[in-house]
Amino acid sequence: QVQLEESGGGLVQAGNSLRLSCAVSGRRVTNGAVAWFRRAPGEIREFVAGIAWSGTPYYFDSAKGRFTISRDSAENTVHLQINYLKPGDTADYFCAIRIRSGTYWTEPSMDYWGKGTLVTVSS
């Protein structure tokens, strides 16, 4: 069974950085497409960044420049580095994996989800 567990969230001041981690069990991270989504208070969940089977990263337009997704094959973990945090980044951050073929970054396209980690950015 594939399971994902996020960590690294917390309360941070605007302008600081944070690295979120997604530990995957039951599937190699190099054998799937792993993505980070987030859901801000009162908003729908949105795609933030993903890393394809090939290792190619993808970013939502608003995430380009401040967000970096990477994967660690040895630890079977995918990280999301967020720099210059803004109050607008406050959200629950979820990681998800797609094990079916193809690379798609929509919620229905993902096969397994973690429970999320909360990031709160104070001004």
Whole-number mean pLDDT of the chain?
96
Task: Report d(CA 8, CA 100) in Å as an integer.
Answer: 27
Q: Among 3, 118, 110, which Cα is nearest to 51's?
A: 110
User: What would the mean pLDDT of 55-81 be, rounded to a whole number?
Assistant: 94
pLDDT of residue 73: 95
CA 9, 86, 22: angle at the middle one, nearest 5?
25
User: If pLDDT is split at 50, 70 and 90, which confidence band does 61 have?
Assistant: confident
Number of Cβ atoms within 10 Å of the Cβ of 113? 18
Query: Is 102 a residue whose pLDDT tops 90?
Result: no
Are residues 92 and 38 in contact, defined by beta-carbon separation less than 8 angstroms?
yes
pLDDT tens per residue, range 3-12: 999 999 999 9
User: What span, in angstroms and rounded, lies between the C-alpha atoms of 30 and 45?
Assistant: 25
Q: What is the DSSP letter of 12?
A: E
Rounded Cα–Cα distance for residues 17 and 70 (Å): 15
Going from the C-alpha of 29 to that of each of 14, 54, 102, 116, the distances in angstroms are 31, 11, 15, 18
> Which residues, listed in sequence order, are joined to residue 53 by a DSSP beta bridge?
none
Whether the predicted pLDDT of 62 surpasses 90: no
According to DSSP, the residues that pair with 36 across neighbouring strands are 49, 95
